Structure 1
Amino acid sequence: MTDYHVHLPVAAQDSVQDFVDMAVRAEELGYDFVWLPETWGRDAVTVMTSIAHATEEIGIGSSIMNVYSRSPALLAQTAATLQEVSDGRFRLGIGPSGPAVIEGWHGIDFGNPLRRTREYVDIVKMVLEGKELDYDGEYFNLSGFRLRCDPPEPRPKVDAAGMGPKAVELAGRFADGWHAILFTPEAMRDRLEDFDRGVEMGDGDRSEQDVTLSLTCAALDDGERARHLTKQHSAFYVGAMGTYYRDSLARQGYEDEAHDIAANWMNGDREAALDVFTDEMLDDFTAAGTPERAREELAKFAAIDGVDNISVGFPRAASREEIHETLDALAPDQR
């Protein structure tokens, strides 16, 4: 049975309290988990701490924190502390982000993101298990570090984000779960084969490893507005957020469209970029429209065998009221 999560907005909100209010509402509506991205607004740790203090049962996690701007030992300390303040409800989602963010904003060489992610997963797990670090990797050679406090019980799960076949295989082999975004149902099934292969390579237990698909959603009485918001959001990711989303779209059978969206966006013609993103593509990647239509599209993704969690996300330009309207319309008890 698929669980339903909430992927809190990537767009800046008026205050930290806005994020807290959304998480509290999600808990009241029966969602199982809230995930918080860390982009270029408020830091995720402070916001997740505030959410932990304001809620009682809903799970709390990062999706994602990048594996460059914090050291793996510091990230492990952060995970241990968040597990404590949330009374065992925390789950850590990490990933490489992209060179535009890592090199352009943080000034760090992007290097080999897959190897770096694997080393972060290894090191963070060691620290959270209370072990003293003795690690010899390509990026990190560490010794002597150990948590001064008792390791958290239970150990927080460590998930990895990924889009390409090797990244997804890595998540299955070394992490406790995989976070997916911007996939068609058909492509999601292909990547699940990569994940399962990674689980087998790592001698893991698939029943203990979660696959979480983040889906951009808008369920509004004004169905046209919902679809426009979602189309705008999707085109932004393909056109403005580096090459990863564009390349992923191309791998899924939309190569010409991906390059046209990116080219129009970079040339400043946003409307032309949106025109390339057809209704067919929108239905392939999102759940948007009237509440009834959005619920039907959401069910299509939830029916994919191997997807454990569907995380309801929101378009960047959605208002606070539109986010709450979508939360209410797609709540577990509405389906």
Structure 2
Amino acid sequence: MDRALHLPVASLPRLDDVLGLFERGEAAGYDAAYLPETWGRDAVTTLALAAERTETIDLGTSILNVYSRSPALVGATAATLQEAADGRFRLGVGPSGPAVIENWHGVDFGNPLRRTREYVDVIRQVLSGEEVTYEGEYVDLQGFRLRCAPPDPAPPVEVAGMGPKAVELAGRFGDGWHALLFTPDGLRDRLDDLARGAELGDRDPDDLRTVLSLTCCVLEDGDRARELARRHLAFYVGGMGTYYRDALARQGFEERANAVHDAWQAGDREAALAAFDDDLLDRLAVCGTPAEAEVALDRFAAVEGLDAAAVSFPRGAEVDEIHETIDALAPV
């Protein structure tokens, strides 16, 4: 299993701190570094700068949502970043969730699966260098064509998703799947959906790259590491609408997911954290001391079909704690 990074965009005080994480990850031997785009710094500008600062590590989005930019623009952006990174770019796209799309971007969440499918189709046409003609339910365009040489090779187009149909779509139309907030057993269930999608698309599942964004915090102060990871995950389950709560419920933790969500929504943060018990934390995160973390990481490495674990960081972690985690989990 490869080890990648899933880097924060908003919690660090300076852009230079974020770019330093790309450099640190490359020096430590990580295979790739992915950048999400939620609030804070935009992924495109940051990755363009990271391309200038690095030489070998793959760079990717995880994810660009399929609402705030047109598909033609996403395709042109992917072509540009592939050129900037000398062929090291990987495009990750997905619908995100209604809390982000409707509340932050002011766009109806609509039919996220169909919209994602249409975006993948158009992006691929753009990257081919041919003139784009497309008539879909959400995307209807004609006459667009790159006025520069198309990237060779074209960057892979990977798809994020959490539910069974979303993961099936990734297997049928994407070059890979980006996963988030999964236990090892939950991941295995969704990998079956990915394989089914690949079969429907007449594709080989082994050709698809599966990346799990995995919350990690590894410190000599193991209690501090666990506290940071617990608070981060409780925020996602409790504070980011119902999207992550429902994903956790599908994995067999409905009662605990509802307890975390309901307490958080009621403003009782301590009750939400208490509901996010040690058992659930250990199923979803790699956290604690370095020795404890390696054991936890092995549970995910044992999942057949998982190609890479992307080390992600709690939103409350300080820069030095992120550095400590990167170094502790660096590939051997």
Displacement after TM superposition at 1:209 (Å): 1.1
Aligned equivalents of 2:260, 2:5: Cα separation in 1: 27
1:41-93 deviation digits (Å, cap 9, x = unpaired)? 01111100111000000000000111000000000000000000000000010
Q: Is the 8 A contact 2:226 2:287 kept in 1?
A: yes
Is 1:67 the counterpart of 2:66 in the alignment?
Answer: yes
Q: Which residue of 2 aligns with 1:309?
A: 308
Q: Which residue of 1 aligns with 2:177?
A: 178
Provide the secondary structure at the position in 1 that maps to 2:55. coil
Provide the secondary structure at the position in 2 that maps to 1:153. coil
Q: Is the 8 A contact 2:188 2:303 kept in 1?
A: yes
Q: Is the 8 A contact 1:221 1:290 kept in 2?
A: yes
Q: Which residue of 2 aligns with 1:232?
A: 231
Provide the secondary structure at the position in 1 that maps to 2:129. coil
Q: Which residue of 1 aligns with 2:273?
A: 274
Task: Specify every segment of 5 or more residues in structure 2 that has no aligned partner in the other structure, as ranges.
Answer: none
Q: Which residue of 1 aligns with 2:87?
A: 88
TM (norm. structure 1) is: 0.98
Aligned equivalents of 1:17, 1:302: Cα separation in 2: 32
Matches within 5 A, 1:22-37: 22-37=21-36
Provide the secondary structure at the position in 1 that maps to 2:147. coil
Aligned equivalents of 1:187, 1:326: Cα separation in 2: 25
Displacement after TM superposition at 1:183 (Å): 0.6
Query: Which residue type is aligned with residue 209 of structure 1?
Result: L
Aligned equivalents of 1:11, 1:319: Cα separation in 2: 12
Aligned equivalents of 2:91, 2:15: Cα separation in 1: 20
Aligned equivalents of 2:231, 2:164: Cα separation in 1: 27
Displacement after TM superposition at 1:226 (Å): 0.4
Displacement after TM superposition at 1:297 (Å): 0.5
Q: Is the 8 A contact 1:10 1:316 kept in 2?
A: no
Aligned equivalents of 1:103, 1:11: Cα separation in 2: 20
Displacement after TM superposition at 1:196 (Å): 0.5
- Distance change (3 Å), C-alpha of 1:272 and 1:11: farther
Is 1:295 the counterpart of 2:305 in the alignment?
Answer: no
Provide the secondary structure at the position in 2 that maps to 1:148. coil
Q: Is the 8 A contact 1:171 1:198 kept in 2?
A: yes
Query: Which residue type is aligned with residue 187 of structure 1?
Result: G
Matches within 5 A, 1:33-72: 33-72=32-71
1:86-135 deviation digits (Å, cap 9, x = unpaired)? 00000010111111211111111110000000100111011101121111
Aligned equivalents of 2:17, 2:104: Cα separation in 1: 26
C-alpha RMSD over aligned residues: 0.8
Is 1:215 the counterpart of 2:221 in the alignment?
Answer: no
**Structure 1: which 4+ aligned runs deviate by more than 4 Å?**
none
Provide the secondary structure at the position in 1 that maps to 2:211. strand
Q: Which residue of 1 aligns with 2:3?
A: 4
Aligned equivalents of 1:272, 1:49: Cα separation in 2: 42
Aligned residues: 332
Q: Is the 8 A contact 1:11 1:317 kept in 2?
A: no
Displacement after TM superposition at 1:11 (Å): 3.8
Displacement after TM superposition at 1:286 (Å): 0.5
TM (norm. structure 2) is: 0.99
1:276-301 deviation digits (Å, cap 9, x = unpaired)? 01111011101000011011101110
Matches within 5 A, 1:132-281: 132-281=131-280
Q: Is the 8 A contact 2:91 2:155 kept in 1?
A: yes
